[in-house]
A and B are shown apart, each in its own frame.
Chain A
Amino acid sequence: MMSEKAFLIRSSPHLNDKDSVPKIMYAVVLSLLPAVLASVYFFRLRALALYGTCVFTCLVTEALFLYLRKKPLRSLWDGSAVITGFLLAMILPPSLSITSAAIGSVVAISFGKQVFGGLGHNIFNPALVGRAFLQAAFPVSMTTWIPPITLKINTATFASPLGNLKFQDAISEGTLTPIKDLFFGNIGGSLGETSALALLLGALFLLFKKVIDWRIPAGIIASLSVFTGVFWVFQPGNFAAPHFHILAGGLLIGAFYMATDMVTSPITPVGTWIFAGGIGIMVGLIRLFGGFPEGVMYSILFMNCFVPLLNKFTRPRILGERKKK
């Protein structure tokens, strides 16, 4: 006779696939590895120091908030704070001081995530909130770029490809950064955004594992291509080509790793397309006509605001639902 107490009573379904929140988070961390390694190759100790600082500070801040909010400390190891740490470091200038990076990390976790109620409740991408704060607090050091060590140039500062395009008339001077350098990463820029190849390797892994929604990078790249393409076709002397815009700056890391943050992107298919299209067009607007050379961060944060609205107004058509006349 089987004992009667031993059976679990629970609601169906009684099966679950093997995926879990921590598995998703650590898959993202794993996917960042090629870009992290590339940045360590290009910037050596500076890179290691920034990654260490950001990841450590994010974890400490997360732990502190979990303690203050009387939440189980196991959430610390769900992987989300680690991702924020890595992503924030990757979008900081390699020359930024350790102190500034630590401040950015505290802001990212506290004001980007925990004040909303922690993982799953935040409106804005935490890493971008941290970076936006640093941009306002330390405008000079946040826009000062150093050349990668591999270039063996001994200058203190160095223009990023987009800065070069915006402020140095790179197109007419013929000094536009070659596509090959953008692709492999031998350029100035934020820590993790320099090598398009490394970012794409990780992104392929995420797409293959279906961790990220392909619509988001596809929508961003398509809308930015169309937007910048129109200007480039008519005035190639004044505007850079779409593939330059896709490979330069933070577009790829933004499209594959920032905008795809599940918590801060829409859950409906139509909403996702609008979200992605909006980001691509905003990036184009800022880069072509704005005061800043780069606009990926503000574009994603801006479109993050619309996510609840998009979810509300783009509900999929239920099976058997008649179209409204």
Chain B
Amino acid sequence: MRARTFPRGVHPPELKQYSSSKKIEIMPPPEKVLIPLLQHFGNPAKSLVKKGDKVLLGQMIGEASTLFSAPVHASVSGKVLSTDDHIHPSGSPVPTVTIANDGQDCAFFSGEKTADPLILDQEEIRQKVKAAGIVGMGGAGFPTSVKLTPPKDKPIDTVIINGCECEPLLTADHRIMMEFPEDILLGAQVVKKAVGAQRIIIGIEDNKQDALQTIQKAIQENTMEAVLLKTKYPQGAEKNLVYALLNREVPRGGLPFDVGVVVQNVATVKAIWDALSRNKPLYERVITVSGSGICDPKNLSVRIGTSFQEVIDFCGGSKQDNNVMIMGGPMMGLAQWSPLVPVVKGTSGILLWSDPAPHKEYTCIRCARCVQHCPMSLVPTQLMKLARYEHLKEAEANGILDCVECGCCQYVCPAEIPLVHWIRLGKNQVVSQKRKKSA
């Protein structure tokens, strides 16, 4: 079978060998968890608890405030220590519920198998997914219930399950596919039912042949298909994945809905299945702890709210003096300045390494490598200049809002210009100007 792919993109060193063959380990819950009320794209959840309250494992401690929001749940049982602001992986302080673990793990939910979730109707599925606090676990954290609610005028025919894990170093999705193939396929069927699609395609990069075989073995329905994709970054970016698998182009400014597709990450569909089959809310997730600075790289099942420091210590601590700590993958992850930030729903990995020489920036020599590698066919160097000199109208006309911030341009830039930084800044300015105009 020839691996499918999209045009352009890059192929950074994969570096997955540190952790790809390591089984998912369960990290014991920490003594204290810090659970931010904002762990998703949208509005923060509204706190349901106050200092001194007793909470149970899986109890809802923050409720969704609006449609674009998601509830959060306690990841241990114990006493609420505070509901003050605390640093968050996004960089700014966020209202956070701190819970002292009583070590009992008294569960709020039964955890027993429910009746077959596949008999639920579409609305019931959405309600349960929303109540379980499930958000996209690839990193962006889009509330999943919203993604399961396609507009009436946009019929959905295909559900794509994203098993690409195209970011270097990360292996959490790989391990989930290896160890829970049935859960993924059942969760995918729930999604298929919720959006009324006819078929499911699971896309897996060809550096994970074992995962492809495992999934293929588990497939029993003929409406499902596991498809091999070329190992190339950003194969897992929604628009590129839809193009690679279906040859459909998501229109500019549009969503996969517009071409009849819903894309869900493998970890998300597993969480959906856990929520529907065992009433288990999203209070833990699988992350990859890796990088040259980690003594013993692992794939870990971690409670939400565990601090990075504790996770790193559980992996044998750090090897050397490290100066780079990333949440997520090395291409799109967020640099962290404090090891005290908690693991959140969108934390796919914790990476640690040392970068001895900060890069020197040169002026753009117009080598056009960014143009040759942009998976969205943009002209990044031009967008960078337009953003830098605040020619916002022209930047918008040249597609600055189409940028997915994948970082291919900056990866190949020989002048080491922080292209993504400038483009991101330009995007923010364009969006805020548009808001002002419409207000």
Contacts and interface: CB of A to CB of B under 8 A. Distances in A.
A261 to B, nearest CB: 9
B367 A24 contact: yes
Given A21-B362, A23-B414, A120-B364, A11 B420 contact: yes
Interface in B6-56: 10, 12-13
Nearest to B359: A16
B379 A267 contact: yes
B362 A78 contact: yes
B418 A11 contact: yes
A153 B348 CA distance: 75
Contacts of A4: 337-340
B168 interface: yes
B405 A268 contact: no
Contacts of A265: 366
B377 A317 contact: yes
A319 B243 contact: yes
A6 interface: yes
Interface in A294-325: 311, 315-322
B81 interface: no
Given A12-B334, A12-B405, A120-B364, A311 B376 contact: no
Contacts of A10: 335, 418, 421
Contacts of A15: 12-13, 168, 330-331, 407, 411
B438 to A, nearest CB: 23
Given A213-B368, A267-B379, A320 B398 contact: no
Contacts of A173: none
B250 interface: yes
> Is chain B's interface secondary structure helix, strand, loop, or mixed overall?
loop
Interface in A258-314: 262-263, 265-269, 272, 311
A14 B337 contact: no
Contacts of B251: 320-322
Contacts of A23: 414
Interface in B307-348: 309, 312, 318, 321-326, 330-340
Contacts of B322: 2, 6-7
B367 A262 contact: yes
A321 B252 contact: yes
B381 to A, nearest CB: 7
> Is chain A's interface secondary structure helix, strand, loop, or mixed overall?
loop
Contact of A8 (B312, B321, B324, B365): B324
A20 B424 CA distance: 23
Given A6-B321, A321-B252, A12 B415 contact: no
Given A213-B368, A316-B371, A19 B414 contact: yes
A1 B309 contact: yes
B363 interface: yes
A243 interface: no
A12 B333 contact: yes
A10 B337 CA distance: 10
B377 A119 contact: no
A21 B312 CA distance: 37
Interface of B: 10, 12-13, 168, 239-240, 243, 249-252, 254, 309, 312, 318, 321-326, 330-340, 355, 358-359, 362-368, 371-372, 375-379, 381-382, 398-399, 402, 405-407, 410-416, 418, 420-421, 424
30 contacts: A2-B309, A4-B340, A7-B325, A8-B323, A9-B335, A9-B337, A12-B407, A13-B330, A13-B411, A14-B331, A15-B12, A15-B330, A15-B407, A17-B412, A19-B414, A20-B415, A24-B365, A78-B362, A119-B365, A262-B365, A262-B366, A263-B365, A267-B368, A267-B379, A316-B377, A318-B378, A319-B240, A319-B250, A320-B252, A320-B402
The 5 closest A-B pairs by CB, nearest first: A13-B407, A11-B421, A120-B363, A267-B368, A262-B367
Interface of A: 1-2, 4, 6-17, 19-21, 23-24, 75, 78, 118-121, 213, 262-263, 265-269, 272, 311, 315-322
